[in-house]
C-alpha cells in the first residue's frame, strides 16, 4: 500500500520542499554589501626642459565626486635629456620614452590598459623650442605621439602647456593633495575648510611659476584665472617666467661656479641681473615689469625649490628656517672651495658644481624677484611630496582633463525591494498551499481507488 501511495505524494512533497526553502530564504536578513572596489589608473608624462618623468596615478573606480582620493601608484624617470633636446633627432625623443612605458604596462593591470588615459604635457623646454623653431617642435611632438599611440592605453594627446597652465595645474595638485579643496558633509550641508588654499611655487630647468588665491584687484587680467572646483569658486593669480632668458648672464654665472672662485658677492651680482625691478607700470610688480598682487597666505614650493633648499639643509647641514638663515646658507656654500664642497656634500659632480649658482638663484628669486620678506617667508614650506604623491602640475593636469576623475557606479549586492519581496513571499506561500491541496487530492484519490 505504501509503495502505491508514495509515488502519488512525491510531486506535492517536492513542491512543498521548494516553497518551504523559498520562504526560509526570504526570511533571512539581507543588506546592501559593497563589493571590494576596483581601481582606475591614469598616466601623465611630464616632459620638462631637462628630463621627462612618468607618473602613474590610481584611484577607486567607485569613488564619489570628492577629493583626497587619487594618489601616485608609481613613477619612472626617463633616461637622457628632455624631449626638446631631440630637436635634431625627433625619433630619438619617442624612443627615449619606451623604457618607462614598458614599466607602465607592468604597473597597470592588463584588464585596465584600454581604459587608462595617457597624456604627455611638455613645458618650458618645448615652449622655447617652439619659439625658435615651430617645425622642430611639431616634429618632436609627432614623434612622441607616434610612440605613445603604439601602446594599449587610451592615449589622449601630447601638447605643449602654457606657463599659465603649468602654474594653475601645480596649484590644483598641491591643494588637492593637502585636501584644501575637499568638501565635507555635516548634517546634509556642504562646507569648505576654513584654512583656505596654499600658494604654489614651481621651479624647473627653464621656467618658474607662482600661483596663489587672491581677493585683491588684479590690474593685469592676463594673469588672473577663475576656477570652479567642487562647487567652489577660486580666483587665483598666476604667472610664469622663463628664468633662463638671459643666456649670456647665466653662462657667465655658471662659468664662475665651475671655476670655483668662491665669491658669493660676484655670484649674487650676476644673478641679480636676471631680475629687473627698476620699471613697473602697475601699483606693484615682481620683476621685469610684471604685476604681482601682495603675497597672501602660506605657500608650498616644490621641484627645484625643494631640491635646492634640501641640499642646503641636509647635505650642507645648514639651517634655512628664515630668510636670513637662507642668505647665510647660500653665502657659506658659495665660499667653499671645490675640495671643501666635495668633502662636505659628496654627490653627483654636475649638480655639486652648480650648487652655488642654484642656491643663489633661488634666494634671489624669492627675495628680489617675488618679494618674500621674513614674515611671508615664515609661511613658505619646501616639500617634494604630499600624501605620498609628488607635487607638480601633472596630477592637476590629469584631474582637469578627466573632469576631476569621473566615477564608475559602485558595485553592490542588492537585496529585494519590499514590493518584490512581498510578491515572492505570496508566490512561495501559494506554492505550499498548492502542494498541500495536491497532496490531499492524491491521498483521497488513492483511498477512493482502494474502496472500489
Q: Closest Cα to residue 32, out of 433, 449, 410, 437?
A: 410
Task: Pick the catalytic residue from 35, 64, 99, 166.
Answer: 166
The C-alpha cell at 132 is 625658435
Distances (CA, A) of 198 to 163, 329, 434: 19, 26, 72
Backbone angles phi, psi at 71, to 5 degrees: -140, 165
Distances (CA, A) of 41 to 75, 111, 121, 144: 13, 11, 17, 21
Count of residues making up the chain: 452
Q: How many CB atoms lie within 10 A of CB 83?
A: 31
Give yes or no for a contact between 205 and 49, defined as CB atoms under 8 angstroms apart.
yes
Distance of alpha carbon 403 from alpha carbon 365, whole angstroms: 34
DSSP string, 407-446: PPPPPEEPPPPHHHHHHHHHHHHHHHHHHHHHHHHHHHHH
Is 374 known to be catalytic? no
The C-alpha cell at 344 is 662636505
Q: Closest Cα to residue 197, out of 218, 224, 177?
A: 177
Unique residue bearing C-alpha cell 605620498:
388
Active site residue ranges: 166
Amino acid at each position: 500500500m505504501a509503495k502505491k501511495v508514495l509515488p502519488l505524494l512525491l510531486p506535492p512533497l517536492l513542491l512543498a520542499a521548494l516553497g518551504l526553502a523559498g520562504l526560509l530564504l526570504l526570511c533571512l536578513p539581507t543588506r546592501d554589501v559593497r563589493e571590494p572596489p576596483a581601481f582606475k589608473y591614469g598616466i601623465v608624462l611630464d616632459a620638462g626642459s631637462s628630463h621627462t618623468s612618468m607618473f602613474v596615478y590610481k584611484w577607486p573606480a567607485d569613488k564619489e565626486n570628492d577629493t583626497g582620493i587619487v594618489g601616485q601608484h608609481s613613477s619612472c624617470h626617463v633616461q637622457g635629456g628632455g624631449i626638446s633636446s631631440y630637436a635634431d633627432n625627433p625619433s630619438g625623443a619617442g624612443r627615449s620614452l619606451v623604457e618607462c612605458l614598458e614599466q607602465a604596462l607592468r604597473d597597470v593591470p592588463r584588464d585596465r590598459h584600454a581604459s587608462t588615459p595617457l597624456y604627455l604635457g611638455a613645458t618650458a623646454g618645448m615652449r622655447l623650442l617652439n619659439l625658435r623653431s615651430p617645425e622642430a617642435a611639431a616634429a618632436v611632438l609627432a614623434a612622441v605621439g607616434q610612440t605613445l599611440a603604439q601602446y594599449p592605453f587610451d592615449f589622449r594627446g601630447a601638447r605643449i602647456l602654457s606657463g599659465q597652465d603649468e602654474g594653475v595645474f601645480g596649484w590644483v595638485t598641491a591643494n588637492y593633495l593637502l585636501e584644501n579643496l575637499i568638501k565635507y558633509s555635516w548634517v546634509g550641508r556642504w562646507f569648505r575648510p576654513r584654512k583656505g588654499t596654499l600658494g604654489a611655487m614651481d621651479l624647473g630647468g627653464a621656467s618658474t611659476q607662482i600661483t596663489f588665491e587672491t581677493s585683491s584687484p588684479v590690474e593685469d587680467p592676463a594673469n588672473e584665472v577663475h576656477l570652479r572646483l567642487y562647487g567652489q569658486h577660486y580666483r587665483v593669480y598666476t604667472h610664469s617666467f622663463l628664468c633662463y632668458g638671459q643666456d649670456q648672464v647665466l653662462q657667465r654665472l655658471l662659468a664662475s661656479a665651475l671655476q670655483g672662485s668662491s665669491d658669493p658677492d660676484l655670484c649674487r651680482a650676476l644673478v641679480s641681473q636676471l631680475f629687473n625691478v627698476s620699471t613697473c607700470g602697475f601699483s606693484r610688480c615682481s620683476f621685469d615689469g610684471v604685476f604681482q598682487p601682495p603675497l597672501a597666505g602660506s605657500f608650498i614650493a616644490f621641484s627645484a625649490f625643494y631640491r635646492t633648499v634640501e641640499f642646503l639643509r641636509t647635505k650642507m647641514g645648514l639651517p634655512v628656517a628664515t630668510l636670513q638663515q637662507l642668505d647665510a646658507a647660500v653665502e657659506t656654500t658659495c665660499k667653499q672651495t671645490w675640495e671643501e664642497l666635495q668633502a662636505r656634500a659628496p654627490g653627483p659632480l654636475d649638480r655639486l658644481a652648480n650648487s652655488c649658482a642654484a642656491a643663489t638663484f633661488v634666494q634671489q628669486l624669492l627675495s628680489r624677484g617675488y618679494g618674500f620678506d621674513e614674515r611671508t617667508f615664515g609661511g613658505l614650506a619646501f616639500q617634494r611630496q604630499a600624501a605620498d604623491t609628488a607635487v607638480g602640475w601633472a596630477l592637476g593636469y590629469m584631474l582637469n582633463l578627466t573632469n576631476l576623475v569621473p566615477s564608475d557606479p559602485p558595485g553592490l549586492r542588492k537585496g529585494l525591494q519590499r514590493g518584490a519581496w512581498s510578491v515572492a513571499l505570496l508566490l512561495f506561500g501559494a506554492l505550499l498551499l498548492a502542494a498541500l491541496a495536491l497532496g490531499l487530492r492524491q491521498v483521497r484519490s488513492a483511498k477512493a481507488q482502494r474502496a472500489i
